[in-house]
């Protein structure tokens, strides 16, 4: 860990505990900051609160009192990524021109290791995992962090110059960065998402673009040549630029030609040897190959990963077959684009399980991808909207149920041999479940109960 002095004797208010708040508070304490933590649900019985208090860190629960800023010295705010900027403390901090960061900024400040940063509306976790696995097979000593796995600043604190940190980042995390500058940065794609948090698409796009913002000619921006908004954002980057494309041959980049993937004219792998399902995953694979080839990973290591890697849990994950029906868990599909990509991965008759938090979408964009869908089992706040889309698309069987568990049995009842039963909600989980992981785990358990 770098011995940074940025936070020495500074008064830092950490808003939101959870994993990221706990890690940030402890790191700031070690860096010599005067730390106060505020979390609505914090109580003295919580193990994390006890740990912080044992270090002499003040913890305030029960609300977000403005007195924390108005009546106490505060130099910096570190907020949990999920806390909106409409939070009263964040609003007051902005009024006082106090810097508001996420722990990703701390991670960058203390990391001795280079950072490969990945963002995008869809495919982040798969791409991040692919990069990590390829680097690991080639013995490049990677660490994985961010929106996947361990909190970024916790990983960065332990990293050395011999490591490389592969970091998945959300727009929530990136918006709270100031100096963050990854050695390699990529935006996979941009689609309307999280507008309830950001307010407008422009703000969402701005947050994503911060991944390129501070890069210099010593760094590399990896760019999806086929995504116009990503391409436009990249034009402001001062880094070296390298492109990937699933549809165009690129002289200086990663591309597909003759059913093979190529890197700057060098054949890397034949597509038929790749086991990860779904056409949409080809772009994730191209992006991953771009990143690891820049770190001198061998084609042999890339081949080994791509001929064995079948996907990440909750991301188009094959669960099991029951009486000839194949069940897939795509609970991570929290927006329309992700679900449309999942539907395109299958040619068999499909029963789609969908629904969740209502963020204002009308789901009409989903219609072109429902051609193989024979039934839709719907749940959550968006069930009525999805039912309208199903009816307008001529779906034969449509049923509303209370939750994911009941959706599984309802789907099985209308399915036949060789059908695909796909949980791909097109919505966030928070109306009924704490996380998309919880939703996916309940789906998996329900499938196993069928047996």
120 belongs to an annotated ligand binding site: yes
DSSP 367: G
**What is the C-alpha separation between 246 and 283, in angstroms, rounded?**
6
**What is the C-alpha separation between 339 and 299, in angstroms, rounded?**
31
126 belongs to an annotated ligand binding site: yes
**What is the C-alpha separation between 211 and 287, in angstroms, rounded?**
15
308 belongs to an annotated ligand binding site: no
**What is the C-alpha separation between 237 and 243, in angstroms, rounded?**
13
DSSP 224: E
3-state DSSP call for residue 14? strand
**What is the C-alpha separation between 63 and 56, in angstroms, rounded?**
21
3-state DSSP call for residue 227? coil
Q: Could you please report the per-residue DSSP string of 262-281?
A: EETTEEEEEGGG-----TTH
**What is the C-alpha separation between 322 and 224, in angstroms, rounded?**
39
**What is the C-alpha separation between 261 and 263, in angstroms, rounded?**
7
By the 8 A CB rule, do 104 and 176 touch? yes
123 belongs to an annotated ligand binding site: yes
Helix (H) or strand (E) holding 283: helix 281-293
* C-alpha distance across the termini of the chain, in Å: 50
Q: For residue 329, what are the contacts with CB-CB under 8 A and spacing of at least 6?
A: 313, 314, 316, 317, 319, 423, 440, 443, 444
63 belongs to an annotated ligand binding site: no
Scan for tokens 């494309």, then name that residue.
Answer: 245
Residue list, annotated binding site for ATP = 120-126
Known binding-site residues equal 120-126
């Amino acid at each position: 860990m770098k011995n940074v002095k940025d936070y020495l004797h500074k008064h830092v208010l950490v808003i939101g505990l959870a994993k990221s708040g706990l890690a940030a508070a402890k790191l700031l304490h070690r860096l010599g900051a005067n730390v106060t933590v505020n979390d609505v649900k914090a109580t003295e019985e919580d193990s994390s609160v006890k740990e912080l208090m044992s270090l002499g860190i003040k913890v305030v629960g029960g609300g977000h009192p403005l007195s924390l800023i108005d009546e106490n010295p505060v130099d910096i705010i570190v907020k949990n990524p999920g806390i909106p900027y409409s939070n009263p403390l964040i609003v007051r901090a902005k009024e006082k021109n106090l810097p508001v960061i996420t722990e990703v900024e701390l991670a960058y400040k203390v990391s001795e290791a280079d950072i490969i940063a990945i963002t995008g509306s869809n495919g982040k976790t798969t791409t991040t995992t692919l990069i990590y696995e390829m680097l690991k097979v080639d013995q490049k000593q990677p660490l994985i962090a961010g929106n996947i796995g361990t909190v970024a600043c916790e990983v960065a604190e332990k990293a050395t110059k011999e490591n490389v940190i592969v970091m998945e980042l959300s727009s929530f995390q990136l918006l709270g960065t100031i100096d963050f500058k990854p050695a390699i940065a990529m935006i996979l794609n941009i689609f309307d998402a999280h507008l309830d948090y950001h307010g407008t698409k422009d703000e969402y796009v701005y947050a994503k673009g911060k991944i390129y913002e501070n890069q210099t000619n010593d760094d590399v921006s990896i760019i999806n040549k086929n995504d116009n908004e990503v391409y436009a954002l990249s034009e402001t980057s001062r880094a070296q630029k390298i492109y990937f494309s699933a549809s165009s041959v690129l002289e200086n980049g990663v591309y597909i030609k003759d059913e093979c993937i190529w890197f700057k004219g060098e054949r890397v792998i034949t597509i038929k040897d790749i086991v990860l399902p779904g056409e949409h995953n080809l772009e994730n694979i191209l992006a991953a190959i771009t990143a690891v080839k820049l770190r001198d990973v061998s084609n042999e290591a890339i081949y080994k990963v791509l001929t064995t890697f079948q996907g990440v849990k909750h991301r188009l994950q094959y669960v099991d077959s029951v009486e000839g029906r194949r069940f897939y868990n795509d609970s991570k599909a929290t927006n329309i684009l992700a679900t449309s990509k999942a539907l395109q991965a299958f040619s068999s008759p499909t029963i789609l399980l969908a629904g969740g938090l209502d963020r204002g979408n009308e789901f009409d964009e989903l219609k072109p991808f429902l051609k193989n869908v024979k039934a839709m089992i719907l749940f959550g706040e968006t069930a009525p909207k999805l039912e309208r889309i199903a009816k307008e698309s001529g779906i034969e069987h449509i049923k509303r149920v209370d939750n994911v568990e009941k959706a599984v049995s309802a789907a099985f009842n209308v399915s036949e041999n060789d059908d695909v039963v796909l949980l791909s909600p097109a919505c966030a989980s928070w109306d009924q479940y704490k996380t998309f992981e919880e939703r996916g785990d309940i789906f998996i358990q329900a499938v196993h109960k069928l047996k």
